Structure 1
């Protein structure tokens, strides 16, 4: 068994090749332009297989430009030819769509016929259904539907080429709107619903999550994760006796656009939309007698697609990065029947997960990897371009995302943590995007190792402009359970305090020599609010705060300054053992990283939250009342299962969540 794949460097293609590597035997030939061979070699290492072989060619040439000698040598030996190379972008122009989707398909089919392949697998799209109204099943193709854009037209025409001109067996796959991996969130570009993510981010940052917003019924969409699409294609391609058929890789149930938006808004922590007037009112009773052409949704879609409306949209939401063409095609008129595909996948365990189950995964990946707002901020670029930023705890969580944001703004992250492999993964991600990063593995609880680290960095780096003390250890355990665990206090002090100040002290001579440097300490809101059960953690952070406040007055004359960020509760692996936090309002690692970037750019003495400041004032003005409130929380929130060494469980959940929402961000 052998395979030929076009578009292997593309989003769906990369996942399909991984499926073939993981579940099939035989050689996998992948088409690649000569100028992209280096990128392909990186992907082959990622796939982890020596069965993937690059074949140089070009989508724009006859027979894909593959050498005739290669074709002759492999004629009759390729069982499956997957054609994925195409444009999957509603905003692409007519010429690009024509060249890639129509011309590329004709050239790919020509090569497949020259190779005498066992089956040609064409990846089309539900866009081939155009503006068809009603149920569109998998036996349907040319139903006289209108094709409202170059994308719709060329998807239809490329599928038509396969259906009418192929001399080899063929199968067609029509994915719906493809989003990131449901397990990892991985996505390679901003497309489809991702265009709306920056707007959701603005809503989250500027409006309370509980604020209801008024929306309109925008019809139905259909969203599927890329891992489902790749797994379904791999499975169906290997089923016997299915040639000449098309398969809808879609969610079996249409997804209302507003519900899809709300699922993503909920994942982002942004306000959600309510639709006072929707299809339940406009399609029933007297309004149900109104012809489809005059119904509100049809009229709205027609207006949005008109030239004047497109111009207005381009000058309004277009400035937020949302293309007017995308707004015009947010919903489908057709309902895609996928019973043939569901039957083909029966018993395989392959199915479409509910969007709500992976919406946060999609959002998190976008926020950490695809959100380009940091790099576009002129003030951030001015402060960080060319600057070396030492980041501890850079292998995950806040440190990892901070490194990505620093690199995006032109800075040079210096990555420090215990795990070398994870640091190298972060460096690889930065370098693939054109950045530069350095890796320095170090156990920051080992003071002698820190001394060696400081010597190496001071000697090898041209400058040390920023130090971000982010690595930390958190322990949530009451004093009652800590009587025989004094090492809890020693461990938190060793990493959070001694390790942090040893690092700064080791790098101060280099910064004094430069006559500049800025230290950012990722502290905790607990230093201001003194929550129960965090005596070991809060004490270590308070010690770091106090030390920094003292030495700041000594070093300011040398151009060295300090910022302490009293960070609220962040959704990181560090809080994972406390299952109680799974339902608590938290900020994301990306939001926390934004605060770290702000600290480097603006260099304030402290960055606090409103609630943290209120807690500090309460402890000063009314300490007895503050301790009474904290004792109430101590009674409501039990010790975690991890602290007691038990399986998680407990009661009073409603009271816990109420307090958590009232005092958002505090470590209970």
Structure 2
């Protein structure tokens, strides 16, 4: 069974090809421009997991040429072999101009049909869009197409016209797929462009960074939208395309239930930690009254019509447009149609393929955008001037804060030098940076091995033209009370080995290079615990405090040579390091991207230290009211228990059994646990960012 795919380098196309590789047999031919062959080879390696498989075969062509510009001899050779021709190459962008929409969506479809017919393809699979329904009012099911619906933009019109071409002109069997707004992968959040709800993310970020999360904001009911994750779209297409006897049908790849636009925005606000919007008047109240009015006179339709006028579009461009939200996106944020997908759901029954709830993956979408697509770093002139062409050594760069810092450094024109134990993950990060046009180096090293650090320093000093910044991010955290540590002295040795000895060994090894340059800035990722002294973190906090003190002393010795230090007393960050402590899942935390922003600030502004309000409050309390401070900390010690893992590793006889063997807790114990959880949340909110 052979397949041909256009748009394989596009967002949906990449996921569809991956599904075909994993679940179908036979060759997969992918259309690619000559200039994109190198990128396609990289993607083929990802699809085939580097196995050297020849199943994915590039075919050089162009969407804008007759028969997609594919060589006539290739067509003759493969005629009658292609079972499934998937046409995904198109513009999926509400802001694209008329000429681009026509060339890509309409003429591109004609060219694809011409090739499919020449190849005598078994079935032509057209990826359309719910935009083909235009501004239809009411329920729009999969059997509907030409209903006289208004088509308010070039995008809507060309989606309608390209689907009409397939329905009326296609000489081979066909199937049509109409996705709703397609967002990132529901598990990883992976996305490759700013579109749809992503236009609103910078505004949400600005609200988060400038307003407390508990502050309610007044919102306007913008109607309903509909969005689905790309992995659902790809899986559903693969399944539906290979069902027998479904030719000549259309399938709605949508959320079965309309999604309130304001609730959708609030889901992303919750994921970001930003304030949420509240609508003062419930829709159910207004709908009963406005339902008596003619459709054209209903407030929502009047607002929609006004927003689409030229003066309103100009006003939106000068206001929201300055925040990166195109006026076209605002005017088409909601749908007038409700998309009926019962036929599609029935066809998918038993496959395990279904649309997940947005709340279950909103954080994944937000995190991926914040770490990979947020371009605020590259738009900051001061940051770009400070980092352009600079070599930035980053330890612990394989994940979390270190990885996101590397991506932001590259975005600003800097050259990340990636250091960690896992070479494979470092190479993945390097590949990501290079695909985005940046440059990076990989230097694998076990930073708990002092000899390995010496070798690393020698290589860095000789192989790099300069070492402009060093970010000591690699670290080990241990949360265990002293009463469980009497026979675990190695906990203290391990934290000191990596967090203190490893860090200063690296700095000392690079000092000759920094002195030679007469410049260099070292950023130490310390901890808010150094200021607040939370219980159960004696091993971790002591190692960070040692690095702080060492750096403060050395800073006075080397400042005359242009070498400086910044200690960041980092609050709790949502990274793999804190994942084992499950109670942190509900605590206020910084995202890795927020933490990376602090690292960027440290490199650009070069302050002596960066603190948080909670950290400064803790330091002041310990200075002026130490007894009261320790009493509060003792209260926290009573409220927050040792983890089951800490007890088990300490070999205590009271360590809990595995969850599946545990007996149900008595009602009184459950009530006590519920009360303790309330106390924990209160402490976490009163002292945000502290490692309890």
Match of 1:14 in 2: 14
> Superposed, which structure 2 residues align to 1:486-505 within 5 Å?
486-505=489-508
Alignment of 1:179 onto 2:214: no
> Superposed, which structure 2 residues align to 1:99-110 within 5 Å?
99-110=103-114
Alignment of 1:666 onto 2:685: no
Contact 1:585 1:660 in 2 (8 A): yes
Partner-residue secondary structure (3-state), 1:574: coil
Alignment of 1:23 onto 2:46: no
Contact 1:282 1:296 in 2 (8 A): no
User: Mind listing any 5+ residue stretches in structure 2 that lack a counterpart?
Assistant: 649-655, 663-672
1:494-545 Cα offsets, whole Å, 9 max, x none, are 0000000000000011000000000000000000000000000000000000
Which whole-Å CA distance do the structure 2 matches of 1:571 and 1:117 have between them?
49
Alignment of 1:381 onto 2:384: yes
Match of 1:94 in 2: 98
Contact 2:204 2:272 in 1 (8 A): yes
Alignment of 1:409 onto 2:408: no
Structure 1 residue 654 displacement after superposition: 1.4
1:199 corresponds to which of 178, 203, 207 = 203
Match of 2:323 in 1: 320
Match of 1:426 in 2: 429
Match of 1:452 in 2: 455
> Superposed, which structure 2 residues align to 1:552-631 within 5 Å?
552-631=555-634
Contact 1:86 1:100 in 2 (8 A): yes
Contact 2:133 2:145 in 1 (8 A): yes
Contact 1:263 1:356 in 2 (8 A): yes
Which whole-Å CA distance do the structure 2 matches of 1:12 and 1:240 have between them?
23
Match of 2:530 in 1: 527
Aligned-residue RMSD, C-alpha: 0.9
Which whole-Å CA distance do the structure 2 matches of 1:657 and 1:597 have between them?
31
1:99-150 Cα offsets, whole Å, 9 max, x none, are 0000000000010001111000000000000000000000000000010000
Match of 1:148 in 2: 152
Match of 2:368 in 1: 365
Match of 2:255 in 1: 251
2:480 corresponds to which of 433, 454, 477 = 477
Alignment of 1:541 onto 2:544: yes
Q: TM-score scaled by structure 2?
A: 0.96
Which whole-Å CA distance do the structure 2 matches of 1:398 and 1:627 have between them?
31
1:273 corresponds to which of 256, 277, 280 = 277
Partner-residue secondary structure (3-state), 1:127: helix
Which whole-Å CA distance do the structure 1 matches of 2:598 and 2:61 have between them?
46
Which whole-Å CA distance do the structure 1 matches of 2:123 and 2:366 have between them?
37
2:356 corresponds to which of 350, 353, 356 = 353
Runs of 4+ aligned structure 1 residues displaced above 4 Å come to 646-651
Contact 1:282 1:295 in 2 (8 A): no
User: Mind listing any 5+ residue stretches in structure 1 that lack a counterpart?
Assistant: none
1:63 corresponds to which of 43, 51, 67 = 67
Contact 2:290 2:299 in 1 (8 A): no
1:26-57 Cα offsets, whole Å, 9 max, x none, are 00000011111011000000101420000011
The 1:305–1:278 alpha-carbon spacing in structure 2 relative to 1, beyond 3 Å, is: farther
Partner-residue secondary structure (3-state), 2:346: helix
Structure 1 residue 365 displacement after superposition: 0.3
**Stretch of structure 1 that moved more, 364-373 or 635-644:** 635-644
Structure 1 residue 73 displacement after superposition: 0.6
Structure 1 residue 60 displacement after superposition: 0.5
1:270-312 Cα offsets, whole Å, 9 max, x none, are 000000124212211x443122222221111111111110000
Which whole-Å CA distance do the structure 2 matches of 1:390 and 1:287 have between them?
62
Q: How many residues align?
A: 667
Partner-residue secondary structure (3-state), 2:82: coil
